[in-house]
Amino acid sequence: MSTLTQGSLAPDFDLPTDGGSRIKLSELKGRKVVLYFYPKDNTSGCTVEAIDFSARQADFEAADTLVIGVSPDSVQSHERFRKKHKLSITLASDENKAMLESYGVWEEKSMFGHKYMGVVRTTYLIDRDGRIARTWEKVKVKGHVDEVLAAARSA
């Protein structure tokens, strides 16, 4: 799992997003950022998590916190995912997985005896100085967004 700990400088990234934009962590200094990593667009847990974060977007904005969902899916996949579920949060694409690896969330997984590489559902709260304020590893979706919002409000 990740070697990033509370107080660590969050690795910078520059990723394409849905809507044809790019997002770069170093340009977000002065704001809190929630980076949540998820395995795949349009899967059950990932869809619930994205809808939950979108439903609370105004609350995150009131806490001066930007929410960014990251997966290895393409920008085009993110755009379809956003449209299908009326998502309002930013979705970033890391198809080459360099950023996923820098955050320690691209790992070997196993299902029914089959080993494969994939994203371990993880969330980071990054403070205004670009440091890790809180980490949630191997996230269970139910209730997660409320817990992240409470941490963002108090950070």
> Is-contact 48 56, C-beta < 8 A?
no
Write down the catalytic residue from 46, 120, 132, 145.
46
User: How far does Cα 20 stand from its chain's mean position?
Assistant: 18
Judge residue 57's burial from the number of C-beta atoms within 10 Å of its C-beta, 0-12 exposed, 13-18 middle, 19 or more buried: middle
- The reply to whether 3 belongs to the active site is no
Token pair 């198809």 is found at 95
Active centre residues (catalytic): 46
